[in-house]
Structure 1
């Protein structure tokens, strides 16, 4: 970025929407974008993409230009307003424009290789215009099924890349909307791939440096998740890993029901 843009001489709020209201917007993605996309976004970039995706309306048939600002993004993501923060956001947007994402399609036996933004324009006064790459249309527009939704607030409050990705995988695995124990099952190698963990990690490193840390943060910050790790061995080798969400949403017919006023994702269709 040029030195001139690093100055941010006029920090303007172009947004008319309440920040807290925006945090309750839904982030809605095709399941393949959660389970089959491979990329190296860091936590900040993942949150920015969730912020941008939350701006998409259910009846949008194309990607519109998203008008936002450094002020708005920093407020929604809970970042300190400063020239340094804004310069970092500008760098994040530039990286999102350039970074590769690979989306695998099992039926077509194909892989889509693309970048996140078609355009990203930043003004010295902090104004921003973004347009998502058209290659993401099948995964973000006019979704009628096979999608996962969550509130922007949930991923905004998570600080780790691994926590954010694991949270999304658990939401996608929850086919019963919290009415039964959710299980995300895979081999250690699959978890490394899903979460972008180093392939060189032993299972012990994967568990202590990635999985357990992500579980601890999710259990602390997400009200309707209580995750635990269960493993299976063949001989002395770990061959299967289950991440289980043991939090169960009680139904009205259950006499022992305990209401949860902080329930994050409502039990109704996004559309």
Structure 2
């Protein structure tokens, strides 16, 4: 049996299996009571570790659209993925009355901004492409309709290995796009949850600082000090306070310059969360032992 014949048999088997079940993502999208934040985002490690820079609003829209795809099915509505201002506002309340403006502005970026993906499996160092092939705007209906670039689709559906998933609700409270990017980079390096009792945990050894800067989309003008304080520390603090993920970084120098990082991270449910007003709960102190 040839490879083509085998692929045809597998394709028919998959189509038959899908015909007997419903695409839960499409069903959920059609349900007016469904909450966008309950969706799950799945993408290849290569896309999670790609090089690009988006604003927070653009990142929110990108991930909301991806979350509407079922990663194991071929019957996704890839030509007509709708994102409504009402569902966007429900997931991101701080958009306020500007929800549709967020969508339309993000649509402009997603159809134009270039994403660089490493592609060594095909003997190509890097691919440069856009996320969306087309974005349609319908202000009267308060929505945009997006079509994913076909070259990006293999990074979003039909994934069998080298991919990661996380709930959209884990990231909706982030106020920095750097935090969101750092979060998904960490998720792509996390150990299998069956080995960590469901917690997010892992490490990245000898991560190049220059490469991390590219993945996060940090401007070249940022010195190490600015990168550390305004990107890494902001992301680390947000991850700790909003996702209960503790991140630890060991800096490695080459000729007095910090060139690489050892990064470890673990989901810590014991992290103290801020009280209303920004203060953290104070630990009760035991009595000082009386002097003899």
**TM-score computed with the length of structure 2 as normaliser:** 0.72
Which of 44, 50, 54 is residue 41 of structure 1 equivalent to? Answer: 54
CA distance in 1, matches of 2:121, 2:231: 31
What is the SS of the residue equivalent to 2:220?
coil
Q: Spell out, residue by residue over 1:81-135, the C-alpha distance to the aligned partner (whole angstroms, 9 max, x if none).
A: 42x4422321211221122222220122323332222222222231332221111
Aligned residues: 233
2:192 corresponds to = 176
3-state SS, counterpart of residue 134 of structure 1: coil
Residue in 1 that maps onto 2:15: none
Match of residue 224, structure 2, among 180, 193, 203:
203
**Which sits farther off after the overlay, 43-52 or 63-72?**
63-72
Alpha carbons of structure 1 residues 17 and 182: separation in structure 2 relative to 1, 3 Å: same
Deviations 1:169-220 (A, max 9, x none): 1111112337285212312212212211123433222211211111001110
Task: Give 1:64 shift.
Answer: 4.1
Distance in 2, matches of 1:247 and 1:85, equals: 32
SS of residue in 1 equivalent to 2:211 = helix
Q: Which residue of 227, 230, 243 maps to 1:222?
A: 243
Q: In structure 1, what is the Cα distance between the partners aligned to 2:166 and 2:184?
A: 8
Q: 2: CA distance between counterparts of 1:140 and 1:117?
A: 13
* Equivalent in the alignment of 2:287: none
Taking the aligned partners of 1:138 and 1:89, their CA distance within structure 2 comes to 24
Tell me what 1:212 maps to: 233
The whole-number CA distance in structure 1 between the counterparts of 2:247 and 2:99 is 33
Distance in 1, matches of 2:217 and 2:210, equals 10
**8 Å CA contact 1:181, 1:245 repeated in 2:** yes
* 1:154 paired residue number: 170
1:227 is paired with a residue whose SS is: strand
Residue 18 of structure 2 corresponds to which residue in structure 1?
A: none
Alignment partner of 1:55 is 2:62: no
Question: Quick one: structure 1 residues 109 and 201, their matched pair in 2 at CA, closer, same or farther if it must change by over 3 Å?
Answer: farther
Q: How does 1:132-143 map to 2 (within 5 A)?
A: 132-143=148-159
Asked if residue 163 in structure 1 is aligned to residue 179 in structure 2, the reply is: yes
Aligned partner of residue 50 in structure 1, secondary structure:
helix
Distance 2:258 2:179 in 1: 22
Moved more, 116-125 or 148-157: 116-125
1:61-93 deviation per Cα after TM superposition (whole angstroms, max 9, x unaligned): 5624113322122222234442x4422321211
Structure-to-structure mapping, 1:87-106, within 5 angstroms: 87-106=101-120
SS in 1 for 2:252: strand
Gaps spanning 5+ residues in structure 2: where?
Answer: 1-28, 271-292
Could you tell me how far apart the structure 2 residues matched to 1:15 and 1:81 are? Answer: 23
Q: Which residue in the other structure is 1:262 paired with?
A: none
Query: Residue 122 in 1 paired to residue 137 in 2?
Result: yes
Structure possessing the higher relative contact order (Cα contacts under 8 Å, 6 or more residues apart): 1
